[in-house]
Structure 1
């Protein structure tokens, strides 16, 4: 039998000098690389303690969320209601949802403090009266809080599904009339590291520092509403910050958390002054200098690839590494955020040959290496590890809880460690939702 060779396909990437901002690639059918570390809507709901999660959808769509729940051993916190063709024809999707949730609450072996009900695209298409549905659920089940989640990935008119659901997991919070001087972090799925500069400033001011990743009871979750201030380090948390401002009366502030030294000096200094806290940047800057020497000595001129899942500021990270003498050759990102405009222009002017690759373009099916690269490559992020085929990679998502100058130093330390100690990327990146458990975050 003759061997049929698959023809080579062109790489859909392009030099950053030829890329446009903020969308370097046209929309197409999308490919999902087998790098599963980023969280999905199923995992976000697990961050709210003592809740039960219900997905209401067609059977085919339910397969993915069921497998996600099973993988983190959270099936006891998770139920499904199947929408069938007959429900669409009879127009009884409201009854199906109300009766289905009631049946679930009667059968599960515990009484949840709250229920997050994820409706789907089909409810939007046929005009299901979700306002009436949730009013009935609250009337029928007093003592249980209900909120709406959305499994509507094809509806992207205003905000992304991820941003929407990161907002929704906070909508069970109750407004309090008397707030304290605490600070609540919104939109995070990874706990701040022990050396987080932002957390250290808050604690130095003597104020409570609150995050959903630390809440282990529904009461602790409700304490997130006690803070007078709401902050976020992930741009996708923007809608959650706006909600906290409008519904809870908290004062919002978004931090960019880029990799510019002067940018971080200004950010941390202004935050410390705002809270009346003493903050000495000297130790963090000394650690950063040591980490930079360590990483440069270990990695030298080896190619470095960065992807957007590892950090909320991939262009800023690429610029910082290039300015620090590293050989950044590839960037994996489908679009750029507004906060990175200056970094984009710097890269265009100073490293126009830097290759930018989409991660969801169908052509990337053929772009991934099937064997290890001939020359050692360092990847920062799971998608960069997958596409480059390297085992030398930094396994973090969304910044890994790092921020400020200490975060810059920690990233360099992780880079040096990853380059010196290769691992099996295949074994690590196929596990969904890095750090997630049945009770939320590790």
Structure 2
């Protein structure tokens, strides 16, 4: 029997409610779809944060296409090189030689040698059992003045152990050495964006006379090397935690994981950890006692929460009961944001995500009980390519994927938290929502640009 092509698509498997969803993966795995929303950073964007470094990829033609286009689009082609692996290299079993000689050829042709090379090996190196220790050992012997950073573009490992993104955020800090410790300095590890100057962390550090160092702010190799001199390390972006923990262990420093949150109590406890660690570093000066920390924290949080509630009232007065959809690309805690907005009377209808972080288990359970009809939509499920993407009524979208899948031209154009954090991050989100509600944008022109915040030739 003939079946009409292009008929109505059954959304089962791509759309569900949180009341019926399983944790942590609400949707079945299978053929995947890649939407045109490309604001998320990939390994090329992140690797470019290391100053005075270049990237070299050793892989086949088909794997090269995406990364070389990323480098070209962000006008960074001069910091990007590649070595093509061909079929005969696999048959001859000389992948080590191809990698070593290819990288050597690239470096010899450069007029000015880089301080570091982010060398990306790929799935083929895994499949063929390439001796990477031999590869790096020989390259380091040939170019002792260059630091070779061990990076991977191996999506076959995406769902097993650390992802290529996590491994890169670890590898980028491997060249740092223990050396001396700069008093009154803290290093933020693994974030793509500089922490906003008004974020709670930066304000508290500044108030205590501390300087925060971050790789996105480093302009040269010397500034980069100073990242290892912090009294302790902080990470805020979930994929950075893995590398930050290993860096802290290697350099014998304390690491504080302070992920962005929309929960007042969680933010307060994270700030308490920060203040206590600052106190540890100032014990000789006897600056703060535990009681003083508590008093200071209570006063700070009380002021900040009042300001947040005022911002909620202002945003609610403008946005009203307009439907709100949001996605995981805007912030690593999409359910946390949805829960915050729902608790404050906003009309959140849909969250676009493909899995739920263990960090959001509590809010997942809360939403399951209190808002079981909240819709969850996949972003990579193949059906999402053909399901309707338009609504008749005005919809406010928070995030690029939410904008594309909902068809809304009223959207907050930001990714991965954008450097926002804490109580100030909540207020900025509400401000961005209000601005997006009042100002129509063209998603088809904005979301196709790779790497939000990066330079783009498009």
Normalising by structure 1, report the TM-score: 0.95
Q: Distance in 2 between matches of 1:254 and 1:430?
A: 32
4+ residue runs over 3 A deviation? 177-181, 276-279
Separation in 1, partners of 2:137, 2:184? 34
Q: CA deviation at 1:396?
A: 1.1
1:368 CA drift (Å):
4.9
> Which of residues 47, 59, 62 in structure 1 aligns to 2:61?
59
2:377 is the alignment partner of 1:366: no
**Aligned mates of 1:90, 1:180 — CA distance in 2:** 54
Pair 202,301 (structure 1): closer, same or farther in 2 beyond 3 Å:
same
Q: CA, structure 1 residues 19+79, in 2 after alignment: closer, same or farther (shift >3 Å)?
A: same
SS at the partner of 1:33? coil
Distance 2:171 2:273 in 1: 30
Partner in structure 1 of residue 240 of structure 2: 237
Whether the 8 Å CA contact 1:368–1:386 is kept in 2: the answer is no
Alpha-carbon RMSD across the aligned residues, in angstroms, is 1.6
CA shift for structure 1 position 179: 5.2
SS at match of 1:432: coil
- Residue number among 324, 330, 339 corresponding to 2:359 in the alignment: 339
- The gaps in structure 1 that reach 5 residues or longer are none
* Unaligned segments of structure 2, at least 5 residues: 280-287, 289-295
Matches within 5 A, 1:13-28: 13-28=15-30
Residues 1:356 and 2:380 aligned together: no
Q: CA deviation digits over 1:23-74, x for unaligned, max 9? A: 1112212111110001011111100000011011001110111110100010
- 1:269 pairs, out of 261, 268, 272, with 272
2:142 is the counterpart of 1:140 = yes
CA contact (8 A) 1:196 1:406 kept: yes
Q: Is the 8 A contact 1:307 1:380 kept in 2?
A: yes
- Give the match for residue 92 of structure 1: 94
Q: Distance in 1 between matches of 2:111 and 2:304?
A: 49
- Residue 7 of structure 1 corresponds to 7
- 1:391 corresponds in structure 2 to 409
Indicate the SS of the match to 1:399. coil
How many residues are paired up? 433
Please say if residues 228 and 249 of structure 1, whose CA atoms lie closer than 8 Å, have aligned partners that are also in contact. Answer: no
Task: Supply the distance in 1 between the matched residues of 2:71 and 2:358 (Cα, whole angstroms).
Answer: 34
**Aligned residues of 2:184 and 2:209 also touching (Cα < 8 A):** no
Cα deviation, residue 325, structure 1: 0.4
Question: 1: CA distance between counterparts of 2:30 and 2:318?
Answer: 39
Other-structure match for 1:422 = 440
Q: 1:361 to 1:269 in 2, by over 3 A?
A: same
- Select which of 373, 376, 382 maps to 2:394: 376
1:195-274 correspondence to structure 2 within 5 Å:
195-274=198-277
- Deviation of the 1:5 alpha carbon: 6.0
Measure, in 2, the Cα distance between the counterparts of 1:83 and 1:5: 40
Change (3 A) 1:434 1:368: farther
From 341, 350, 354, the equivalent of 1:330 is: 350
Question: In the alignment, what sits opposite 1:292?
Answer: 312
Kept after mapping to 1: 8 A contact 2:410/2:440 = yes
Q: Which residue of 1 aligns with 2:422?
A: 404
SS of structure 2 residue aligned to 1:401: coil
Following TM superposition, by how much is the alpha carbon of 1:76 offset from its aligned partner in structure 2, in angstroms?
0.3
Deviation at 1:207, TM superposition (A): 2.1
> Which residue in the other structure is 2:291 paired with?
none
* Offset of residue 347 of structure 1: 0.3
Alpha-carbon distance, 1:286 to partner: 3.6
Q: Is the 8 A contact 1:17 1:349 kept in 2?
A: yes
